Each structure stands twice: as C-alpha cells, then as structure tokens.
Amino acid sequence: MDIKEQVKRIANEIASEIVDTRHHLHSHPELSFQEFETAKYVADSLRKMGLNPMEGIAKTGVSALIEGKNPSKKVIALRADIDALPITETNDVAYKSKNDGVMHACGHDVHTSSLLGTARILNQLKDQFEGTVKLIFQPGEEKAPGGASLLIKEGILKNPAPQNILGQHVMPLIPVGKIGFREGLYMASADEIYITVKGKGGHAAMPDRNVDPVLIASHIIVALQQVVSRFATPTTPTVLSFGKVVAEGATNIIPNEVKIEGTFRTLNEEWRKEAKIRMKKLAEGLAESMGGSCEFNILDGYPYLYNNEELTRRNRQFAVEYMGEENIVDLDIWMAAEDFAFYSQEIDACFYRLGVRNEAKGITSNVHTPTFNIDEQALEIGSGLMAWLAINELQS
C-alpha cells in the first residue's frame, strides 16, 4: 500500500478517537498560560504512543520528537496551540465547556486533538520516512506576549533545530473538506493603542474656562485615520480601529480626561514602526495645540505572518495530491493576528486553514463567539493531511 493510502487508512481508523480527544479538550478548556491540565493530558497522550514528551516549556508548553530513519537528515516542526478564551459557551452539546466562562471558541481544541492524531499516524509510519518531526503544543496564543515568543526564547527552535514549521487553524468561512493556503504575506501585525487625553474639566456651560478633552479626543480619533489614508502606501493593508472611548462626564459636566483604546494592524514592519511614530506625534501635537495634553502608549503585539513562498507552494501541492485540486482554496490576506507569526520571523513557515463549516448542519458561527463549533469530519482530514504534509516535507 502506498504511503498516502496508509496515512488515510490510519487517519480513518483513529478518527473517532480524535473526536473523543477533541470532546475531552473542549469540555475542559483553560485560559492562556494556565493550560496545566491540558498540557498534562497532551503529555500523557504522547507517552501512551511511546513518545518521550518534554513538559513545562514556558510553564505549560509540551514538545516531543518523532524520529524516522536517519533522524538527523531533516527536522521539521508541527505546531498546535492549546489555550481557550474567556467566553461562556452557549452551544447545547454533550461536550459543552465544564469550566465556567472559558471556552475553546477559537478551535485550539481542534488543533490540539488533530496534532495528537497526526502524531499517532507519523509514529506508526516512522520506519517509512527519514528525518525528525518536532511536535509543538504551544500555550498562550490568545494573550500577549504570545506563547510562541516565549517558546522561541526557551529554545523551541533549537536542539534539534527545525528547518521549517507548519501550523493549521480552523476557518469557519471554509466548508469542511477544504483547505486554504496563501503564499507570502498572510496575517497582520497587531499593536494595542492606549491614549489618555488630558484637559481641564468643569461646568459644560462654561467651555471657555475648561479645556475640553472630549473635543480634543474627537479630533484625535478623526485625525489618526489620516495616518492610514494619507501616509500608508495604498498597497500596504493598514487598519486602525478604536473600540473603546471613555469620557466620564455628564450632559453638563466636561470631564478631566478621556481614554481611548484601539488596535493598529498592518503587514510591513518598517511601516509599522513609522506609523507608530506618526500617530504619537499627531495625537500629542493636536492635544497640545488645543490646550490639553495626551499620553500615547503602544503595546507591541504580534508581528505580521509571512508564509514562505516556496514552502507554501510545495505544501499546497502535497495537499492537492491528498485532497484533490477542487478542495484547495486560495486565501486572501486576513487582518487578524496570530502568534504563529513569531515562528515565521525565525524560520520558513506555512500556516494554512482547515475548513470546518457545514451550512446544512447549521455550523456557521465564527471563531471567538459563544456558538462557535465545527463539523468534526475536519478532524480526520486535519490529522491525516498534516501527517501527509510532514512526510512529504521531510522527503523534499
């Protein structure tokens, strides 16, 4: 039997167990950097396969090696994130979250159970490929500074050093049975902006005696959009959104200060640096010119995610061989952020999308919602495909 058939056969044989694993993880979600039980469960599962997991990387990270013949020939890494979100699940399913206010609403339970499935397949076939697969079960994808950055600091990309890394993420916009790829620029950097505009509060009937931070803040919000529309090159996607504005005055009270919070996203590191300088200067200058002042702070988030062209083209082709051309979707740029981007800044990386949507079954909710769910056929596909990609990538 050729190796593709073997991968498909094993993926099919273990499919119901992968679903059980997903149900267990889904009903026991843990917040970012607190994934102690999840990490233990993952490590135990790896030990049951006869692997020798390394635990406690950045506290809750787990890694293990699957060595084929000639293990030093080539090393590649496969990554799954393991954390959940602070959302209360409203799905009425048997495997509903048992942890109040915590939910696997971004599909990281899917990534984790799928990678455990991939590990079983690769482990069964390890006498049929050369090289080493490094499995990375990564904590804290959803929370700054991102588990990926901590794992990299702790040496996850060394000893042995993978040449490249693959990761998958559920995509509720894509029907189950399909996989999405994009070469090159794929996801955005994301920085958090915190602005405090200071004025002088007082009676709203006497604006001349006050410095109105509400009016200054309004001007700042409008003016900052010009950084996007007038300074960003039209070919570099840039997003600036403010989702929180707090002015605690009243109909007749001008407050002392206004707080504004937002997000800045783009796909170019030089522009990202320049934009931050421009935004700060503009906000501070505007506030000053209007008699007030402004504290402009930026919390650096994840960098942009770059899918190495050659690696992605190659793996897209492997996916075509596994799934058929008709089941491969070409993705557009996606302005969300993902800490897999940290790996992509260090080594060749390919982050692809696993279709999980099924309109006929009513499975259409987006990630980060209380009703997010998947068509679980995606698990067999996700596990088998990643094993197939890994085997091919080791050979190329």
Report the distance separating Cα 238 and Cα 224, nearest Å: 12
Residue 121: its H or E element: helix 108-124
Beta-bridged to residue 80, according to DSSP, are 137
Residue of 302, 306, 322, 343 marked catalytic: 302
Choose between 264 and 351: whose C-beta lies nearer to Ni ion: 351
Across 30-115, the runs of DSSP E, i.e. the strands, are 54-57, 61-67, 75-81
In the complex, minimum distance from the CB of residue 365 to Ni ion, in angstroms, rounded to a whole number: 14
Report the distance separating Cα 364 and Cα 226, nearest Å: 36
Report the distance separating Cα 69 and Cα 88, nearest Å: 46
The answer to whether the CB of 188 falls within 8 A of the CB of 344 is no
Residue of 141, 338, 376, 380 marked catalytic: 376
- Binding part of the chain for Ni ion, among 103-111, 145-153, 154-162, 305-313 by CB under 5 A, reads 103-111
Tokens read off for 148: 């990926």
CB closest to Ni ion, residue no: 106
In the complex, minimum distance from the CB of residue 203 to Ni ion, in angstroms, rounded to a whole number: 49
Answer yes or no: 376 catalytic: yes
Choose between 259 and 368: whose C-beta lies nearer to Ni ion: 368
- Binding part of the chain for Ni ion, among 100-108, 342-350, 358-366, 368-376 by CB under 5 A, reads 100-108
Sign, Cα dihedral of 310, 312, 315, 320: negative
Choose between 80 and 106: whose C-beta lies nearer to Ni ion: 106
- Binding part of the chain for Ni ion, among 52-60, 101-109, 305-313, 314-322 by CB under 5 A, reads 101-109
Tokens 């990490």 locate to 39
In the complex, minimum distance from the CB of residue 285 to Ni ion, in angstroms, rounded to a whole number: 38
The site that binds Ni ion (CB under 5 A) totals a number of residues, namely: 1
- Binding part of the chain for Ni ion, among 23-31, 106-114, 156-164, 310-318 by CB under 5 A, reads 106-114
In the complex, minimum distance from the CB of residue 350 to Ni ion, in angstroms, rounded to a whole number: 16
Q: Does 77 bind Ni ion (CB under 5 A)?
A: no
Per DSSP, helices labelled H in the chain are 3-13, 15-27, 36-48, 108-124, 147-153, 213-226, 269-289, 309-323, 340-346, 377-395
Among 106, 216, 217, 283, binds Ni ion (CB under 5 A): 106
| Amino acid, res. 172 | P
Instruction: Show contacts with Ni ion in window 126-165 (CB under 5 A).
Output: none
Sign, Cα dihedral of 318, 319, 321, 326: negative
In the complex, minimum distance from the CB of residue 171 to Ni ion, in angstroms, rounded to a whole number: 10
Report the distance separating Cα 135 and Cα 127, nearest Å: 18
Report the distance separating Cα 214 and Cα 255, nearest Å: 8
Choose between 129 and 137: whose C-beta lies nearer to Ni ion: 137
Burial class, 72, CB count within 10 angstroms (exposed 0-12 / middle 13-18 / buried 19+): exposed
Report the distance separating Cα 279 and Cα 306, nearest Å: 25
Report the distance separating Cα 322 and Cα 118, nearest Å: 14
In the complex, minimum distance from the CB of residue 169 to Ni ion, in angstroms, rounded to a whole number: 6
Report the distance separating Cα 15 and Cα 86, nearest Å: 29
Choose between 106 and 354: whose C-beta lies nearer to Ni ion: 106
Choose between 106 and 115: whose C-beta lies nearer to Ni ion: 106
In the complex, minimum distance from the CB of residue 144 to Ni ion, in angstroms, rounded to a whole number: 14
- Binding part of the chain for Ni ion, among 1-9, 104-112, 194-202, 378-386 by CB under 5 A, reads 104-112
Choose between 106 and 187: whose C-beta lies nearer to Ni ion: 106
| Active-site annotation, residues | 302, 376
Q: Which residues bind Ni ion (CB under 5 A)?
A: 106
